[in-house]
Every structure is written in C-alpha cells, then in structure tokens.
Amino acid sequence: KYGMLGILKVIRMKDPDLNMLALGMDLTTLGLNLNSPDNLYSTFASPWSDTPARKDPEFYLPPCYYMNPPHELKTARFQKFSPDT
C-alpha cells in the first residue's frame, strides 16, 4: 500500500482522486499566469472563485471606530509630580 506497490497505483493513473492527491494539479488551468512578474495574490482569489480578486475590501467601517487625535500633552502638569513618582 505504501511501498513500491503503492506507487504503482499512482503511476497507472486509474484512480483520479489518488492522482490529484499525489501528483497535484496544473495551476494554469485555474487561470494563474505563472510567468507574470506581478504578485499572484492580487489576481487569484480562490480556486473556487470564477472572478479575480478585488483590490478593495468589501466592508464598511462605521464612523464610531474612527479615532480623534489625542489632546496635546501639557508639560506644565509634569512639574506637579515629585521625582519619586
């Protein structure tokens, strides 16, 4: 099952599931251009997706999550503390 007799089952290519697991798949059939100098993740979303990856994410961030800049720190308050603090 796992020795030379097991590899014969793969070489004979009778079981398509076993061949896919052992030999893999040609990635160009999924629409990947492996000769492209660009990054693959920008164009390939998933092997189960028929559309290319979108550059902008599909979510809306509510305004309550945006942060206001902090108030300016006043150094005069530091003088009220002792050096031991």
Task: Please report the pLDDT score of residue 7 as a whole number.
Answer: 75
Average pLDDT score, the chain = 76
Band of residue 15 on the pLDDT scale cut at 50, 70, 90: confident
Say whether pLDDT at 6 is over 80. no
| C-alpha separations of 19 from 3, 6, 9, 22, 80 in Å | 16, 12, 9, 5, 76
Say whether pLDDT at 37 is over 80. yes
- Give the tens place of pLDDT for each residue, 54-63: 777 678 888 8
Distance, C-alpha 79 to centroid of its chain: 50
| C-alpha separations of 9 from 21, 31, 58 in Å | 12, 29, 45
